[in-house]
Structure 1
Amino acid sequence: MDAGVGAAYEEAAVLYANGGVGDAEKVLNAVLDDPSGNAGEGLWMMLLDLYKLTGQRQRFESRVLDYATRFERSPPPWEDLSSQAARPRGDVAPLINLSGNLNGQAAPQFQQIGIIGRKSGTIRIDLTRLRSVDDDGCKLFLQLLQSLAADRVKVSVLKCSQLVNMLEGQVSAGRAENREAWLLMLEMLQYTGEEERFEQFAVDYAITFEESPPSWAPKVQEAMSASDAGATEEKVRDGFRLEGEITGSQGESIRKLAAYAAERQSVDVDCAQLRRMDFVSAGTLFNILATLQAQGKLVVLHKVNAMVAALLRVMGVDQVAQVMLRN
């Protein structure tokens, strides 16, 4: 790759990584249309993948003929990889994070969660980042769970033990206060499967409020099923998955890779649904993969689109892991 082409390769990769789709396209087209240039197949694949990633079929069809003529081979087929074309897969449950302070102002958020859950038929709610919840927030959350259950939506609540412990500190047997916190705590215990602990609190609830507590109805199997079915960015049957658009503010999936690889010598990462990764996230990925390589682990990134692969090459990720392009 000569200096000019190499510079264009890097520039287009970084522009796309930062969200500059139009600018990246201009850079690639300028090199490919230069009669005195020596653009190789790599730049062509970047442009064709860029059109796939942005859903520009007409431009793809126009350019793919030039590719076929240039390299005298069958061109890659059209495949819409844009976010607009992404459809919920049967084996994936949407993941929603509840974070910060949960109170009565969260009503619109819970309404949206309900819409997402009913649309997909299954949903995961992660409580890892939840810091506090008041009685109004408890009521809204409980109403959401009951509504989804009535509509037969499969629900997985992740880190619900954390919420149980939080709520336990807000209730007191014999003091008829924070009733919604009591009820949500009993609901969460049915997700954790802690029947003995549930029964203890149910008795305390009955004494405190002088009314019958909810009945024990474990939801562990349903929650596990939804969780297993919905590992969006992490675990899949035979590896780990990165997908969507990963930016510095949404790079948790990259950090989870280290934990996933902890007990494995060989790690396969499915990147078929990964559309874009920004510069910061690529740097984080390099650091994690360099550490794993130093530990003697082999990491293979499978089905990486040409635009993301170019960024990974610029960042040196291909030096600490194997990067396999999409076919």
Structure 2
Amino acid sequence: MVLPFFGKKPPPAGSSTPRSSARSPSGSSAAAARPGLPQPDRNETSSLDFTIAGGDIKRVLAQCADRVHVEEGVDEMSPPAEEAAILYANGAWNEARSVLEHALQTTGSSDARLGVWVMLLDLLRLTGQREQFDALSLAFATEFERSPPAWQDLSSQSARPMASKTPLVNLSGALSGQAAAQFAQLIQVGMRSGALRIDLTRLRSIDQAGAELLLRAVRGLRKARIRLSLVGAPHLVNLVSGQVVRGRADNKTQWLLLLEALQYTDQQERFEELAVDYAMTFEESPPSWEPPMVTESQTEAVEAVGMNDIFVLEGEVVGPNAEALRKLAAFANDRNKIEVDCGRLRRMDFVSAGNLFNIVSQLHSKGRLVVLKSVNSMVAALMQVMSLHEVARIELRG
């Protein structure tokens, strides 16, 4: 479902109509009214600068206003829900629970109470409090005459093993001998995982030393029986082809790299022709045709049906340099619809939520759709505080 549980609907992006509650990373109107309540850590958020293309969140929303589609049911948050979301984002779980429990004692609106209830039950699941969850589930069912969410222990989900995935290494720009350290790491990754994909599509050029690094890596991994695939092998063939000339006995490494790359493109006839040219040019036997375990055509087929079309956010995404968000930006680079599985995402702090807003806003301004799937209600509430629901579709987990 799509955030169906908070008070009034917000005005469209870019509207001058004020929102009913203050949007501040350091607290909410409810916090100001109750001085005794623990406050979120102001130092963590006071210096944040959530900017994109030279502007802030409001400016971005104004620029996107004509393209924003707010899902029906995405409503304005009650102050306690907003406050609890901020506290949870700062890691203050007990304080967030206190705010939600107090809200149930003072809130009369049925819609607002439902939102608070859903957040409280989800918070208990996220912190592994089964006994308290069972007790409150009965009260929820009695009040709303509907089944509560099913119990799931979400407190340790970040430790659950993910499905095995083939590591992907991207090579880009000008490949030269300066990449020796990176190639050493590349080989280690392949040896540890037993499989490796090397994306060559962003390479612009390759010199003698770079060709030597790539050739040694590919041959070494193949000899070690690592399941290696070269994404963009035809692009590598085109790059290197101009560096080899029949009858000219130079650039031998490029010759050998070209013969190696051709085996990843299923072009055996072209390989055999080049092998003859190699033998005549260097007066020695050429490499034999030994197709790899995964060729270019097989790589494309695997990608088309694999899980690579869904990006996974999991665990706790915190801090200004969250690696997961950089990977998300790269993942979304060439997609029109970006689906993000948040089923194992436990918590996100304000810094990361601001960075996520920047990424999603850029994609939205280009007409791309971002769908954040299976988001727990505590993180979803923070996303709404950050106005992410105005530039992306947020779907709650059950």
* TM-score of the aligned structures, taking structure 2 as reference length: 0.60
| Structure 2 portions without partners, runs of 5+ | 1-5, 7-76, 105-114, 139-147, 314-322
1:37 to 103, 124, 128: 103
* The structure with more helix, counted as a fraction of residues: 1
Distance in 2 (CA, whole Å) between partners of 1:205 and 1:161 is 19
1:80 to 138, 156, 179: 156
- Report the residue type matching 2:310 in the other structure: R
| Structure 1 portions without partners, runs of 5+ | 17-22, 52-59, 262-266, 293-298
Distance in 2 (CA, whole Å) between partners of 1:204 and 1:184 is 14
Q: Is the 8 A contact 1:283 1:315 kept in 2?
A: no
Ranked by relative contact order (alpha carbons within 8 Å, sequence separation 6 or more), the top structure is: 2
Q: Is the 8 A contact 1:171 1:182 kept in 2?
A: yes
Q: Is the 8 A contact 1:271 1:303 kept in 2?
A: yes
Residue pairs, 1:221-236, within 5 angstroms: 221-222=294-295, 236=305
Q: Is the 8 A contact 1:154 1:226 kept in 2?
A: no
Residue pairs, 1:1-327, within 5 angstroms: 1=6, 3-8=78-83, 11=86, 23=90, 25-26=91-92, 29-34=94-99, 36-38=102-104, 40-44=116-120, 47=123, 60-61=127-128, 63=129, 65-72=131-138, 75-78=151-154, 80-82=156-158, 85=159, 87=161, 89-90=163-164, 92-219=165-292, 221-222=294-295, 236=305, 240-244=309-313, 246-248=324-326, 250-258=328-336, 270-272=341-343, 278-287=356-365, 302-306=373-377, 309-310=380-381, 313=384, 323-327=394-398
Q: Name the CA shift for 1:286/1:308 in 2 (closer, same or farther; >3 Å).
A: farther
Distance in 2 (CA, whole Å) between partners of 1:279 and 1:134 is 40
Number of positions where the alignment pairs a residue of Structure 1 with one of Structure 2: 286
Q: Is the 8 A contact 1:241 1:271 kept in 2?
A: no
In structure 2, the residue corresponding to 1:191 is in which secondary structure? Answer: coil
Q: Name the CA shift for 1:3/1:318 in 2 (closer, same or farther; >3 Å).
A: closer
Q: Name the CA shift for 1:132/1:204 in 2 (closer, same or farther; >3 Å).
A: same
Q: Name the CA shift for 1:31/1:272 in 2 (closer, same or farther; >3 Å).
A: closer
Distance in 2 (CA, whole Å) between partners of 1:103 and 1:145 is 16
Q: Is the 8 A contact 2:263 2:295 kept in 1?
A: no
Distance in 1 (CA, whole Å) between partners of 2:371 and 2:390 is 11
Q: Name the CA shift for 1:6/1:44 in 2 (closer, same or farther; >3 Å).
A: closer
Q: Name the CA shift for 1:307/1:239 in 2 (closer, same or farther; >3 Å).
A: farther
Q: Name the CA shift for 1:96/1:305 in 2 (closer, same or farther; >3 Å).
A: farther
Q: Is the 8 A contact 1:100 1:130 kept in 2?
A: yes
Distance in 2 (CA, whole Å) between partners of 1:151 and 1:42 is 52
Q: Of the two, which has the highest radius of gyration?
A: 2
Displaced runs of 4 or more, over 6 A = 274-277
